[in-house]
Structure 1
C-alpha cells in the first residue's frame, strides 16, 4: 500500500547485477534542458519498461514546481496536479496515509513555504534549493508554541498521524479531511483553536471539517494535551514554524523513504520485492537531476527491487538518489515539444492514475510564442506507430513550437527524404517501398524531422483478439487491426485504411487511437466483424450477454 514505507520484505543481497539487453530506447525533448527517455529491457528476471526525465538545472527555461491538489489532505490524479501547476513534466511524490486522511507522510515544501512536516521520521526529501541545486536533503520541523506560562515544542505540521505526546500545528492548508484518525488511540486529546494569536476555543476531540481561513489549530495528545490543557479562550498563544536543514534555502521538496545512492555508493536496500518504482537522482554538483519511473506488476514489465532501482539510478549518472512512493502510485507525465499538454507516459499498475497527494515537476518561463521548430511524430504514439506498410498510411502531427517548447499552431510543408519509399500530404504519409525514410515538417526557417520505417506491402491481416465479449448493453471493449508484410513485419492499421462490416444493431464500433472502441447496443446478441484493407480481410466476433 502507498501508506507503507516498504512494499516488500527487507533483505539485502549484493548479487552481481545483470543489466540485460536494452531492446528499445527513444529520447525526445520536452523543453530546453529537459529530455524524456523511454526504454525497454530484458534480463534473466524478465521484461522491464521505464521512463526517465533528465533535467539540466542550468537551463534558463525551466523552473521546479511542487505538484499538489492545493491542500495537504486532498488527493487527485497527478495529471490534474500537473495541469494546475502549468507543468510540462513531473512524477508522483511522497508516500501517504492511504487508508485515512490521504496526506503525505513526509515533508513537503512549495515555493519555500512549508506544506507538511514531521519533526522526526520521514525527513528524507528530494529537494531543489533557491539557487537551483538539486539535493538529497534531510529536512526537519522547527516549531515552537509560546503559551502564557512558557514555550513548548510542536512536533508536527499538517501531518496525518501524531505520535505519543505530540503537538501538531494545522492550518487551512490542511484541507477537508478529518483529524480524528491523527490521534487515534490517544489516552488524552486536546484541540485548541487560535485566531490572530488568541485562543478562541478548546475541545477534547478534533472538530470535523476544514479549518477556517485565518485560523490555526493545535492538536495534541497525552503529554502534549496536558501542556495545552491550561489554555482557555482569550489566552495569547504564538505559533512559529519553519523547516530546518543544512541543505540551504529549499524552494521545492517532496518526501521519500529510502536513500538508494549516497555519494555514488549503492546503499544496502531491499533486493527481494519487485514493484513499480519512482525515484529521483542528483548529480554530485547538484546541477542535474533524474526523475524516473519503472513499470511493474505487468506482463511487459516486472518492476524492480530497491537494489535494482539504485543501480538503475547510478547508471543514469546519479551520485545520490531517493526512493519515492511506488506501486500503483508510480506515474510520470511529460509533453513533447509542440504538444499542448503533458500526458501519462508510463503504465500505472492500477490500470489508470491513482489519486496521489503530491509530486515534483517542472514548468517553463513564458516563451516568445514564435515558431522556432517542429517535432513531427505519429499522431497516435503507441507501439509500432513509426511503421507504415507500403500502400497504406500513417497520420502524423507537426507539433510546431516556440523557444520553450510551447505549442505554436502552424501548418507546415511536408516532404520525405525519398519519395520512392514514401510521400506525405497534409500530415498523412503513404508508404511506397520498404526502407527507412525521414519525414520533414518545415515552415520558413523552422523545421523538424522524424524517421519512419516503411514495410513491404501487406500480405495478410490480423486482429488483436479473436472475440470481443461484452457483458450487457452499454458494455465496452476494444480491438486493433494489424497488417503484415511478406517478411512477417507488421504494424497496426489506421482506421482510415480499414473497412468494417458488422451488424450495426448489435454493436457500435468507432475509431479510437490505434484501434477501435466497441459498445454493446443490445442485451444479448452476436455479430461477425469483417475488417478489409489493401485487398485482404480478417475476421473476429463480437458477442453480448451470456
Structure 2
C-alpha cells in the first residue's frame, strides 16, 4: 500500500511500554500431546460462518473457548476493522462498535497503551485506507486481507520520506502513532523523528508523554502540498481537519522542519506499508501462536502475559481462505481462562496454519448475532465489571439478500412451576441466516398435551410433566417444538434467596431474586409471587416484582422465609450500621534503594523521620518534583526521593463534560477548579465514591467517581 500525501503531520509521544520490547524466550516449548478440546456446540451465524464452543479442563476447573470459523471466499461476507468511535485514538467497547456499525460479529483487536492516547500498536487498514502505520522492527505480527479476499499473517513495516523545496529529505517514521519504543535500542519512537497525522487521528494530543519536551517540537499544518502554518514549541490545539495534515517533528526532526519550511512552502510526502500490496483490511496483533501448522514458543516475555486469562486471537488456514476467530472466556464463574501455550495447542487442534495473539485479559470481548436476533450481543462477561474501551475491533459484516424462510425456534424458560404464565417468543431466520420478524409470519400455536393452557404464545402451566409447545408456519410448513418441564414439589432440591445488600436500611426497598435448583441439577430464576413468604421477628413488604422493604425489626434472629411445598429457605435480616467510609489507596511507591530515608518534607533539608528497606510498598499520597509523599503507618506520612523509588499510579479519563475538582470528598467542599471531558488524571485514593486525583497540570483534589473511567491494567 503506497500513498503520496500533500500534507504532513508529526507528533511525538513518550509513554513507553515493555510489551514492544522483543525478548526471545529461552525456555524450550514443551512437545506435549494435543489435549482433548471437547466440542460442545455448533451453530451457524451467517453464510459461510459457523460458531463453535469448545471446553478444556484444568485441575482448577473448566475453560470455555469460543470459535468463529469464517469462509473468506463467501461472496456475502466482509471482514473489516472498526476503529473505536471512528478514528484512531478514539476508544470504544466492542459491543458498542458492533451495534453502531451493524456488525454480525466482532472481537477486540490490537494491543495499546492504556496510559497513553489509546492508539493501537500495530497497523490498521479499514476498507482499503491506511489509518495507522506499523512500528518498524517491533516483531509484532498483523493479519491482513488482500483485495482478492485472501488472508495473510505477516510482519508489516513502514517507509516514508519528506522532501523540502531545496531537495533535502527526512525519514517519516509513522502515520497516526501514539508513543512507542523503537527496537532494537528501545528508544522512544518520537525522539528526533517525524510523524504524520491526518483526519483519521481523533485525539487533540499527538505523541505526547514523558520524555518529550514540547519546547523541542515543531508542527506544520499542511493542505494540498502547501504549508499553511508553523507552530514551534507548542502543538496546534486541534485535531487535523478533514483534508489537512499535521506533520510533527521532535529534536533533529524539528530542526529540519524549521530550517527548510515556512508558511507557503511546498512539501512532498511519500509513504508506503510493506508488504506493499492492495490491502483491504489490516489489524495488528502480537506474537505468533502457530506457524506452519505447529504450535510455537511465544517469542516475547511472558511474565505479564501468561497465566489463566481471557484470550483473543486469530488464525488462518494454509490457503488463506479460512479465518479462525477465537475468544476465551476467563476469570469468571463459568470459565477459568487459558494459558498461552494451550491457546497455541488449540489453534493447532483446529487446523490453523498460522495464528497470532491479540490483546487479551480485560480487553477480551466477542459479540455475535444469534440466530433470529437483529444485532450482535456479547457471548460472555469480561474479566472486570464492564467492557474495556479498546482502540479497534475485527468485525464481520453480511450483505446477503433476503432468502426463503429456513427455520423457526421458540424462546423462553423451559422450567415452570404450576400456575406460572409465560409469553414465549417466536424467532425465525432465512436461508442466509438473516433474522426474520416472527410477527410477520402466519403461524399456528398448539399444545401436544393437556398439562396446561395455551393462548397463542401464552402458556399457563397447570400439571407436572413435560408439555410440548408447537408452532407451524403455514406457508412453508416449517415447524418448531419446545418442550417445557413443569416441576412438581418433589422435583425441587433447594431455594436460594439473594438481595443486593448485606444489611437493610429501614424503609428502603431493595431488589430480591429467587433461584430454584431441581434434583436433576437444573436451575432457574422465578418471580417472588410464585413462592410463599413469611416474616419472623420483622415487619415489611415484598412486592410481586420482588422489591423487599424492611419497616421494623421486632427481635433477634429476624428473617424472611420462602417456601414451596416442603422446600424452604431463609434470608437473615440485619440492619445497616452507619460507619465512616473506608479509604482505599490506588497508587503505591516501591522502594528501590537499599535503605531510603523518609523525610518530613520534599527535600534533603527536611529531617529524617524513618528509613525504609528495599522492596517495601507504601501507599502514595502526593507527588512533587523529585519527591513522593507516602504513608508510613495509619497516622503518619513522609517524603521519599523519587530517584530511589518506583511509583505506580492508576489512571482515569474524565467522562463528564465539565467536572468539579473539590478540596474534599463531597459536594459540600470548595471547588478548586474544573476538569474537561477526555482529560486524563492520576488516581491516588478512593473514599465513598470519590477519587483524590492529580491532574496533568499538577492540580490536586477530589472528584466524584461517577464522572471518571478508571483504567484497569491487565
Measured against aligned partners, the alpha-carbon deviations of 1:44-91 in whole angstroms (never above 9, x if no partner) come to 353212211111122222111211220101111111111222111010
Structure 1 partner of 2:438: 410
> Contact 1:470 / 1:520 at 8 angstroms: preserved in 2?
no
> Contact 1:463 / 1:479 at 8 angstroms: preserved in 2?
no
> Contact 2:444 / 2:473 at 8 angstroms: preserved in 1?
yes
* 3-state SS of 1:313 partner: helix
Structure 1 partner of 2:208: 181
Measured against aligned partners, the alpha-carbon deviations of 1:498-536 in whole angstroms (never above 9, x if no partner) come to 25758999788686xxxx6x6879999998555566786
> Contact 1:160 / 1:182 at 8 angstroms: preserved in 2?
no
| Cα distance in 1, alignment partners of residues 156 and 17 from structure 2 | 20
Structure 2 partner of 1:160: 178
Distance 1:302 1:535, change over 3 A: closer
Distance 1:348 1:477, change over 3 A: farther
| 1:263 is the counterpart of 2:292 | yes
Match of 1:141 among 158, 182, 187: 158
Distance 1:310 1:33, change over 3 A: same
> Contact 2:80 / 2:394 at 8 angstroms: preserved in 1?
yes
Matches within 5 A, 1:464-503: 464-465=496-497, 468-469=500-501, 480-485=513-518, 487-495=519-527, 498-499=530-531
> Contact 1:172 / 1:216 at 8 angstroms: preserved in 2?
yes
| 1:294 is the counterpart of 2:333 | no
> Contact 2:496 / 2:569 at 8 angstroms: preserved in 1?
no
> Contact 1:414 / 1:442 at 8 angstroms: preserved in 2?
no
Distance 1:340 1:519, change over 3 A: farther
Shift of the alpha carbon at 1:253? 1.5
Structure 1 partner of 2:196: 169
Distance 1:156 1:529, change over 3 A: farther
Shift of the alpha carbon at 1:316? 2.2
* 3-state SS of 1:274 partner: coil
Shift of the alpha carbon at 1:43? 2.7
| Cα distance in 1, alignment partners of residues 348 and 408 from structure 2 | 30
> Contact 1:376 / 1:441 at 8 angstroms: preserved in 2?
no
Shift of the alpha carbon at 1:496? 8.9
> Contact 2:49 / 2:68 at 8 angstroms: preserved in 1?
yes
Shift of the alpha carbon at 1:464? 4.1
Structure 2 partner of 1:233: 263
| Cα distance in 1, alignment partners of residues 552 and 274 from structure 2 | 63
| 1:335 is the counterpart of 2:353 | no
Number of residues paired by the alignment? 531
Instruction: Mark the runs of 5 or more structure 2 residues left unpaired by the alignment.
Output: 1-14, 180-188, 578-714
> Contact 2:495 / 2:568 at 8 angstroms: preserved in 1?
no
* 3-state SS of 1:94 partner: coil
* 3-state SS of 1:181 partner: coil
Matches within 5 A, 1:113-512: 113-120=129-136, 121=138, 123-150=140-167, 151-161=169-179, 162-179=189-206, 181=208, 184-185=211-212, 188-202=216-230, 203-230=232-259, 231-245=261-275, 248-269=277-298, 270=302, 272-368=306-402, 372-376=405-409, 378-379=411-412, 396-411=424-439, 412-414=443-445, 419=449, 426-427=456-457, 442-445=473-476, 447=478, 449=480, 454=485, 457-459=488-490, 460=492, 462-465=494-497, 468-469=500-501, 480-485=513-518, 487-495=519-527, 498-499=530-531
The two structures have a TM-score, normalised by structure 1, of: 0.83
Greater alpha carbon shift after TM alignment, 522-531 vs 398-407: 522-531
Shift of the alpha carbon at 1:295? 1.7
> Contact 1:283 / 1:317 at 8 angstroms: preserved in 2?
yes
* 3-state SS of 2:344 partner: helix
| Cα distance in 1, alignment partners of residues 241 and 544 from structure 2 | 49
* 3-state SS of 2:51 partner: strand
Greater alpha carbon shift after TM alignment, 86-95 vs 272-281: 272-281
Distance 1:191 1:468, change over 3 A: closer
Shift of the alpha carbon at 1:424? 6.5
> Contact 1:467 / 1:542 at 8 angstroms: preserved in 2?
no
Distance 1:429 1:447, change over 3 A: farther
The two structures have a TM-score, normalised by structure 2, of: 0.65
Shift of the alpha carbon at 1:305? 1.7
Rg larger in 1 or in 2?
2
> Contact 2:105 / 2:366 at 8 angstroms: preserved in 1?
yes
Distance 1:103 1:522, change over 3 A: farther
| Cα distance in 2, alignment partners of residues 274 and 410 from structure 1 | 42
> Contact 2:318 / 2:352 at 8 angstroms: preserved in 1?
yes
Shift of the alpha carbon at 1:262? 1.1
Greater alpha carbon shift after TM alignment, 252-261 vs 436-445: 436-445
| Cα distance in 1, alignment partners of residues 539 and 433 from structure 2 | 46
| Cα distance in 2, alignment partners of residues 357 and 328 from structure 1 | 13
> Contact 1:506 / 1:522 at 8 angstroms: preserved in 2?
yes
| 1:42 is the counterpart of 2:69 | no
Structure 2 partner of 1:382: none
> Contact 2:415 / 2:487 at 8 angstroms: preserved in 1?
no
* 3-state SS of 1:172 partner: coil
Matches within 5 A, 1:15-34: 16=32, 19=35, 22=38, 25-34=40-49
Shift of the alpha carbon at 1:192? 1.6
> Contact 1:461 / 1:538 at 8 angstroms: preserved in 2?
no
Measured against aligned partners, the alpha-carbon deviations of 1:199-231 in whole angstroms (never above 9, x if no partner) come to 122222323332222220111223322322222
Distance 1:6 1:160, change over 3 A: closer
Greater alpha carbon shift after TM alignment, 144-153 vs 176-185: 176-185
Match of 1:104 among 113, 116, 120: 120
> Contact 2:191 / 2:250 at 8 angstroms: preserved in 1?
yes
Shift of the alpha carbon at 1:152? 2.6
Match of 2:69 among 54, 60, 71: 54
* 3-state SS of 1:165 partner: coil
Greater alpha carbon shift after TM alignment, 232-241 vs 262-271: 262-271
* 3-state SS of 1:398 partner: strand
Distance 1:544 1:409, change over 3 A: farther
| Cα distance in 1, alignment partners of residues 164 and 551 from structure 2 | 70
| Cα distance in 2, alignment partners of residues 436 and 12 from structure 1 | 58
